[in-house]
Structure 1
């Protein structure tokens, strides 16, 4: 039976594991063996991983793959992707090769502004609060200088501070809405440190502001935190070619393919049930690169999905059109990424991934990540509107099924050969394994 424990965080890793396997697992030794099996053989690397988070007991591995042949603004990239899902890397690679022969991907960073907010409560006269804000704003910027100094020397820092009245939503609710430029850093710690200092000055100086009544001096700071919604940190990625150049598939004309493709995107633009799955496919590519480069994929996911709902209805992130004999496919998405700070300077594979990408700036990484998402979506829609999604996906999933049944090398080779000319399904693979084992 499970039981609580006090002081778990103070135990050594070995004792943590001993308590966990004795408390939660029927086969204590097997559970412990599996946990220890994934420790790194190099003690220094293992210590590094242990110190990334709290209460570490083992490492959780994901495959790190590479999708080559991405031509982006005339530069060729091999893009690292950390992901467990079959067919994602293959699909991205196939799309990259397709567009390499048609001029490649074009990208543009539209803006790089990030947002943080001080949320506070004030129940006095709004005009008096506005007067206080105008008075205190120069002091706010002065008091935060020790934090912003180094960032400003590199060309970043606080861009502006606004007072926002949100009392129509919650009685007494206001914000200091602060915009930032953080250059090659994702900037979460920098932004949060700035916000906490701004909040401190804003609350403290209110106590001596002469226009406030005694009640108005009591500004209640609720919280100071960055926002992962970054609609002004935007990047655009696009591809285009003449419709004639889409004639890769012999089973469908270029004109019909282009037409079906544009209709498929249009459906995702108006139908939320389709849009969620459509955008999830985009995130297959985006998350894999974000994770491989040591960035926060949860923040990226939250910001992008919020952006997909910015007009009051969840919709497709990508768009497509046919115009004057040309096919256009593009996407604009918010991406707050960093190439310095966090894991980027600590995790050995993150360092390698960034070097593989020619050590990009944050702006360059934004463009690479956006292209990975666009390529993934193109590959998915191309399959959906031609052969269907399952044909390619299940062939890539075949190896996972074989590994589930612990197929040996001979069985894998035989079954892979068999399914070159047969439809892959889970049941069909299971039957093929059973039949092969009966014969042998």
Structure 2
């Protein structure tokens, strides 16, 4: 049977499911039931979700959790997190409590400049192109006035437009490099609309516009967060040795890209979870963060740490292009709730909160790695997941968790223990 379909987008949701289940699955009734059980019983909400993307057939639920007790710049937050990976929320909560008794987190936004570019090809004289740009620059700003009107009222808009010669990288390649301030909006649609208006105004017969698009690499949209305390306050025992190991772990991440990638992935566990919860674009944030980690030409850690005069200091600096107005932040009920939970922060305050979430996650990971090892916490959650898969009762779950307290957890070992328990019963 051919699996191709014509006019799929025009089918109703039920028709899409009928075709899908009949074409790709053996038990079509079971597949329909699985898809339909995740529909929202509230028709208004379901219609809202259906309209977020195309060809919607069901909802894919992710856990929505809270990590309480974060003290950031003297203010207490309960941070919303959406993530499927076990231990992340627990680790964040423990770290929040730990640093809450040691002065909390301090954070500040360094800059909020965002970038868009008009990419074009030009084979003529460079000086003539520069003269054309100089004469045209004021008109490029004017071409966007209708688009930027409301943004300018909120303190945003186009900051500058530069002509950049990129012919050293690619023959005949130039760009208009445009910088923006988008206030509390992430600003993707705003930036792209401005760029297309600028491109339309700038084009002429000998200038071939290739594309106009924002950049998710935003090295001038930066946030900084830190924690610090006396070395002796960091660990209950062997503080000096363990603190040095903690710093060495970051030095290794800065020296070894294989380690740095996993190191930064742990940071993004915290970052992405809050980005998702607040209706922001985690793919854009991920891309920008990893590009920033490689800004020196070698992929490095987004965090750093020092020990000076008996004081341990741990910090993060990373780009975060976020919004608290527009898009899903106002459409998705849980995203609205998440922002309200955070006190309806400005985009700058949200940058600080999310940077802290990333720093906290990294602290938890490095503390575990340099002491008990990362697997103790991970395998505890892995054990719980296996027990759920086996359908164990409450008493059986309690027995198995106690049984594996000091034993190595593997899937086979848990299955064998469960089967023996059932047999003994």
| TM-score bracket for the superposition, by shorter chain length | over 0.9
Asked whether the 8 Å contact 2:107–2:226 carries over to 1, the reply is yes
Query: Equivalent of 2:216, from 228, 233, 251?
Result: 228
User: Residues of 2 paired with 1:317 and 1:391: CA distance?
Assistant: 25
1:343-382 matched pairs, under 5 angstroms: 343-382=328-367
Distance 2:128 2:110 in 1: 37
Instruction: Provide the C-alpha distance between the structure 2 equivalents of 1:438 and 1:384, rounded to a whole number of angstroms.
Output: 38
Question: Which of structure 1's runs of 4+ aligned residues deviate more than 4 A?
Answer: none
User: Secondary structure at 2:274's aligned position in 1?
Assistant: helix
Aligned residue runs from structure 1 range 46-65, under 5 A: 46-65=46-65
Query: Where does 1:162-201 land on structure 2 (aligned, <5 Å)?
Result: 162-201=162-201
Listed as ranges, the matches of 1:323-334 within 5 Å are: 323-334=308-319
Distance in 1 (CA, whole Å) between partners of 2:35 and 2:289 is 35
Question: What is the CA distance between 1:397 and its match in structure 2?
Answer: 2.3
- Distance in 2, matches of 1:434 and 1:325, equals 54
Answer whether contact 2:113 2:180 (CA < 8 A) is retained.
Answer: yes
Matching of residue 303 in structure 1 with residue 288 in structure 2: yes
Match of 1:213 in 2: none
CA distance in 2, matches of 1:63, 1:439: 36
8 Å Cα contact 2:136/2:202 also seen in 1:
yes
**1:90-105 matched pairs, under 5 angstroms:** 90-105=90-105
The 1-side partners of 2:278 and 2:180 are apart by 22
What is the TM-score of this pair, normalised by structure 1?
A: 0.95
Q: Deviations over 1:194-241 (max 9, x none)?
A: 0000000101xx4xxxxxxxxxx4211100000000000000011100
1:316 corresponds to 2:301: yes
**CA-atom RMSD in angstroms:** 1.0
Contact 2:71 2:105 in 1 (8 A): yes
Secondary structure of the structure 2 residue equivalent to 1:59: coil
Separation in structure 1 between the aligned mates of residue 267 and residue 235 of structure 2, nearest angstrom: 24
Report the counterpart of residue 39 of structure 2 in structure 1: 39
Q: Which residue of 248, 258, 262 maps to 1:273?
A: 258
> How far apart, in 1, do the equivalents of 2:2 and 2:62 lie?
29
Instruction: Check the 8 A contact 2:124/2:206 in 1, yes or no.
Output: no
How far apart are the structure 1 equivalents of 2:176 and 2:9?
A: 37
Matched, 1:14 2:14: yes
Distance 1:336 1:138 in 2: 27
Confirm or deny: 8 A CA contact 1:17 1:57 kept in the other structure: yes
Residue 242 of structure 1 corresponds to which residue in structure 2? Answer: 230
Aligned to 2:239: 254
* CA distance 1:406–1:2, shift in 2 (3 Å): farther
Over 3 Å counting, the alpha-carbon distance change for 1:2 and 1:433 in structure 2 is farther
Post-superposition offset of 1:402: 1.3
Corresponding residue of 2:392: 407
- The alpha-carbon deviation at position 27 of structure 1 amounts to 1.1
Equivalences, count? 425
1:28 aligns with 2:28: yes
Structure 1 distance, partners of 2:224, 2:124, is 44
Q: Structure 1: which 5+ residue stretches go unaligned?
A: 207-216
After superposition, give the CA deviation of every residue in 1:304-327 in whole Å (9 maximum; x if it has no partner).
000000000111111011100000
Match of 2:139 in 1: 139
Offset at residue 423 of structure 1 (A): 4.0
Which runs of no fewer than 5 residues in structure 2 stay unpaired?
none
Secondary structure of 1:183 counterpart:
coil
In structure 1, what is the Cα distance between the partners aligned to 2:370 and 2:410? 20
CA distance in 2, matches of 1:106, 1:26: 56
Of residues 418-427 and 345-354 in structure 1, the stretch that sits farther from structure 2 once superposed is: 418-427
The question of whether the paired residues in 2 share the 8 Å contact of 1:87 and 1:397 is answered with no
Distance 2:382 2:92 in 1: 16
Q: Secondary structure at the match of 1:161?
A: strand
- Report SS of the residue matched to 1:86: coil
Are residues 1:123 and 2:123 paired?
yes
In the TM superposition, residue 404 of structure 1 has moved relative to its aligned partner by 1.8
Q: Alignment partner of 2:61: what SS? A: coil
The answer (yes or no) to whether the contact 1:2–1:24 under 8 Å persists in 2 is no
Distance, in Å, in 1 between the alignment partners of 2:144 and 2:382 is 53
Q: Secondary structure at the match of 1:167?
A: coil
**What SS does the aligned partner of 1:311 have?**
coil
Structure 1 286/2 Cα, relative in aligned 2: closer, same or farther at 3 Å?
A: farther
* 2:218 alignment partner, SS class: coil
CA contact 1:87–1:393 (8 Å) conserved in 2: yes
Deviation string, structure 1 residues 29-63 (Cα, Å, up to 9, x no partner): 11111001100010100000000000000000010
Structure 2 CA distance, aligned partners of 1:438 and 1:363?
59
Q: CA deviation at 1:431?
A: 2.3
CA distance in 2 between partners of 1:131 and 1:72 (Å): 50
